[in-house]
Amino acid sequence: MPTQQPPARRERKKAETRRAIADAALRLFALRGFDAVTVNEVAEAADVSAKTVFNYFPVKEQLFFEHEPLLAGDPAEVARRRGPGGRVPVELGRILRAEPAGDLALFGRIYRGSETLRAYGRELFAAREHALAEALAGETTRETAGQTARETGGLRPRILAASALGPVRQVWESILLEAAERVPPGEAVARGVRTLEEAYAVLGGAFESILHRQDAAPHHAPPIPEEQPRALRGERPSIRRVADLAGVSATTVSHTLNGRRPVADETRRRVLRAIEELGYRPNVLARGLRTSRSQTIGLIIPDITNPFYPALARGLQDVLGPAGYDQIISNTDGVRRTEQAAIEHMIARQVDGLAFAVFHTHAEDLLPAIEAGIPVVRLGGRLVQHGVDLVHSDDEGGAAEATRHLLGCGYRRIAFVCGPAAEGPAAERVAGYRAALADAGVPPDQALVAHTHFSRAGGAEGVARLLELAEPPDAVLCANDVMAIGALDVAAQRGLRVPEDLAVMGFDDIDAAGMVSPGLTTMANPAREIGQATAVRLLERLRGAIDEPSTELVVPARLVRRQSA
């Protein structure tokens, strides 16, 4: 009978196996990038089975984050260990290592090259935020109401946790990305620590002990001699240094920059001279903590490879950029569960506003964003909901006009290729198609409506099915131009002439519509203008310029005649 290994030896063997798997994975990620490497390849490189890899790392991303070089502690544990009367959270800055473990530049390059890893990193911080909120809630229940109010400044644990971890996550990522660009690790970390100091300083007493305790000094990067030029040190002068040089308070510097309160001309000149001399640039992260604004807008879309959506995002940026806002874009592939998760991620990222072009989201899915006080603009559909504005093209009217154009060209067996369940904008376009047929006295035929995916392959698959009907269509209207290009693919493969044997129409008028052969007849759906209108509506909501609980803006669609129909 074989003898069992002692528990300590078994655990040591497991740790060695886990490390060997993670090391093999990192070598592969460095050579080929995270997304290109499969779990089977990791297993082969580590000389174990794929099942063994999954036993240790149920999620592929964990293979990469096993080597995480910057985080030295769990914020929830920091909060649980704090002593009576301690500030919230004590020494949170200690969770960043002053001397990163491993190759920070290599880690940063792999991280930068994978949107999957960046998304997973956001999820990890969101989980830490939840754990920290629970820890803070547990601590405050052991104290009197008066002590809790003094400690948290009236903030609930969840809000305090988000305020605390938001800058940590942003600094953590900025250090990685700087290291990926060959910034020396010590310099990148030192700059990150300074950014955290300035960000936390604006929260006042609630965070005054995070990075300013004397015993935290060993965890900072080694000081750089003062005689080195500021450009070499990578030093970011703080608002306090500007105030000291100008002989005014930090508040006066802030008023000079934002113009919210009058500042005497001579004082303003002193402040501006100090800013120029020091090369000061306002810290957007710190300003966001002070104003409860992140200066970001979330955009959720179903398919970033569809050219309509980059044009939409460009329209948003046309307006948001000059207003000082950035975008965070999330792709959902039109899956409702992914759409729900994207909304939760945007809330966790503390976006100031949310625009989304999705097909399956229901009213209840938006409640978390509405309850968080985030202005929401929905792009498409007819969902009327308090707290949600609508900005969209005339989907129903545009589809009706497209159908009337085909009818006017003499086609009668007109098919419609739409999405999996004809929800959102696609449902409006199906309704317009059916209404135009009814007005022309053409009897409806459910077999002529094909549900597929909103992609070139989906359009090809849907049209292929329609052409197998006993009475195939003589014209097909697609819910977007990408699907219509798929329809042209099938027609060419089957030797069908377009439009003589089969007319094809799209919707959107993306750039490719005029480049394919034959040129695609379509309905122009002005994506950039819709994006611009969406951004204007969000900014109006943020300024409090709209009183109505919900508004709707319809952008007309326009027929563009080319050769395909």
- Which SS3 state, helix, strand or coil, does residue 16 take? helix
Residues in the chain: 565
CA atoms of 208 and 214, how far apart (whole Å): 12
The whole-number pLDDT of residue 258 equals 61
pLDDT tens by residue, 44-80: 999 999 888 888 888 888 899 888 888 877 777 766 6
Beta strands in 351-490 (DSSP E): 353-356, 376-378, 388-393, 414-418, 449-451, 475-478
- Report whether 484 contacts 512 (CB < 8 A): no
pLDDT at 147: 40
**Rounded CA separation 410/408 (Å):** 5
Q: Report the alpha-carbon distance of residue 161 to residue 155 in Å, rounded.
A: 9
pLDDT at 215: 35
Which positions of the chain have pLDDT values less than 50? 1, 83-90, 140-155, 203-234, 285, 289-290
Single-letter code of the amino acid located at 98? A
- 558-560 and 521-524 beta bridge pairing: antiparallel
285-326 per-position pLDDT tens digit: 455 544 556 789 999 998 888 888 888 999 999 898 888 888
| End-to-end CA separation in angstroms for the chain | 80
pLDDT of residue 234: 42
Q: Would you state the pLDDT for residue 224?
A: 33
Nearest of 409, 465, 414 to residue 438 by alpha carbon: 414
What are the structure tokens assigned to 284, written together? 């957007």
Q: What is the DSSP letter of 84?
A: T
- Cα–Cα distance measured from residue 455 to residue 36, given in angstroms and rounded to the nearest whole number: 23
pTM, full prediction: 0.49
